[in-house]
């Protein structure tokens, strides 16, 4: 991890935490999911930097070492998109100052999004296409809140998304445990291939047997890093974005995304979301991403970039080398 450097950048009134590896104008911006954080990209950052790219992983506003927004309950995906645009603007000025005499307002970056981190990546690619060289997502095909989002009315009663969308419910559930146990439980629960559905007399944390060990690819040291970061930020913003702002319609009409890759674990529980397997396997998603490449990893689960890092790194670097035009 000594190859990864850390700093804060002032963006739209907040200090966002950045982890960086590599140098130069070929920026690859990694966007995390939940309960992940910049650290979830540790394996990919070093590999991508070694391949000649500048790897940058952020903590979204309200996550980890980044500042909290002033009103977390009003945060939404547009905030994350605007933060990313401002961040790329900052990088553009830095690169133009160091490497040329021409001032650049924006640079074109390659986005890599995992879980809900794919949503701002999709929105950025649709709304600000000039800033995006290409797009890789892990665990989620093309989905944006609104008409191309998750169909909440089809989700089973007691499903974790519905439970965590209720103000106060996840806070009470999580509050029964220390932060480390909450992260441990979520990693164990979402490493499985089944949907996370609680009974009427249960909360989501109750679905995990306390004696269940961590997945073999996720160490106690890894857990300590996550726990430390979430002790700093708490879960207040993390529950708002994504879970309590996903039903919003962000006004995107007829979206199209170019140069995309989807990496999907065959054992990712997301495949069992209503309609998702047909959406991906029957090519319905290609109406939004006509040239989409999909790679299904037979043993991959929801945390495939941490579970199978060497395989994922190879897929990402091969795709970058083929498509990067920044």
Give the active site residues: 115, 243, 302
What lies within 8 Å, CB to CB, of 162 at 6+ separation is: 152, 155
| Rounded Cα–Cα distance for residues 179 and 259 (Å) | 38
Pull the structure tokens for residue 199.
């009974």
Q: Are strands 109-114 and 14-21 parallel, antiparallel or unpaired?
A: unpaired
Q: For the chain, what is the largest distance between any 2 Cα atoms, rounded to a whole number of angstroms? A: 65
Pull the structure tokens for residue 309.
């890092």
φ/ψ (deg, to 5) at 81: -65, -45
Residue bearing tokens 């590896």: 21
Count of Cβ atoms closer than 10 Å to residue 237 Cβ: 21
The CB-side HSE value for 314 (13 A sphere, CA atoms) comes to 5
| Rounded Cα–Cα distance for residues 261 and 281 (Å) | 14
Long-range contacts of residues 150-156, Cβ cutoff 8 Å, at least 24 apart: 150/246, 150/273, 151/274, 151/275, 152/246, 152/247, 154/274, 154/275, 155/273, 155/274, 156/195, 156/197
Count of Cβ atoms closer than 10 Å to residue 256 Cβ: 12
| Rounded Cα–Cα distance for residues 86 and 168 (Å) | 32
Decide: residue 56, CB within 10 A, 0-12 exposed, 13-18 middle, 19+ buried.
buried
């Amino acid at each position: 991890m000594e190859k990864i450097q850390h700093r804060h950048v002032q963006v739209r009134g907040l200090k966002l935490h950045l982890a960086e590896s590599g140098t130069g104008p070929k920026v690859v911006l990694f966007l995390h999911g939940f309960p992940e954080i910049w650290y979830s990209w540790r394996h990919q950052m070093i590999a991508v930097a070694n391949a000649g790219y500048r790897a940058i992983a952020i903590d979204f506003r309200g996550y980890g070492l980044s500042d909290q927004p002033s009103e977390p309950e009003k945060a939404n995906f547009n905030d994350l998109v605007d933060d990313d645009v401002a961040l790329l603007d900052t990088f553009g000025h830095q690169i133009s100052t160091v490497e040329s005499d021409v001032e650049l307002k924006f640079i074109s970056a390659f986005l890599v999004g995992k879980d809900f981190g794919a949503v701002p990546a999709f929105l950025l690619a649709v709304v600000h296409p000039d800033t995006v060289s290409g797009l890789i997502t892990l665990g989620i095909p093309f989905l944006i809140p609104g008409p191309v989002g998750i169909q909440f009315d089809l989700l089973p009663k007691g499903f974790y998304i519905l439970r965590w969308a209720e103000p106060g419910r996840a806070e009470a559930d999580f509050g029964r445990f220390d932060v480390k146990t909450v992260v441990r439980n979520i990693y164990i629960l979402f490493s499985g291939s089944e949907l996370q559905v609680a009974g009427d007399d249960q909360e989501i944390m109750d679905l995990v047997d306390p004696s269940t060990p961590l997945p073999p690819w996720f160490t106690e040291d890894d857990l300590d890093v996550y726990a430390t970061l979430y002790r700093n930020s708490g879960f207040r913003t993390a529950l708002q974005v994504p879970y309590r702002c996903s039903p919003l319609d962000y006004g995107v009409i007829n979206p199209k995304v170019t140069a995309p890759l989807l990496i999907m674990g065959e054992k990712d529980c997301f495949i069992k979301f209503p309609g998702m397997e047909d959406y991906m396997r029957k090519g319905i998603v290609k109406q939004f991403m006509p040239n989409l490449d999909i790679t299904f990893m037979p043993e991959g689960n929801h945390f495939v970039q941490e579970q199978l890092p060497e395989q994922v790194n190879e897929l990402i670097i091969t795709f970058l080398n083929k498509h990067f035009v920044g």
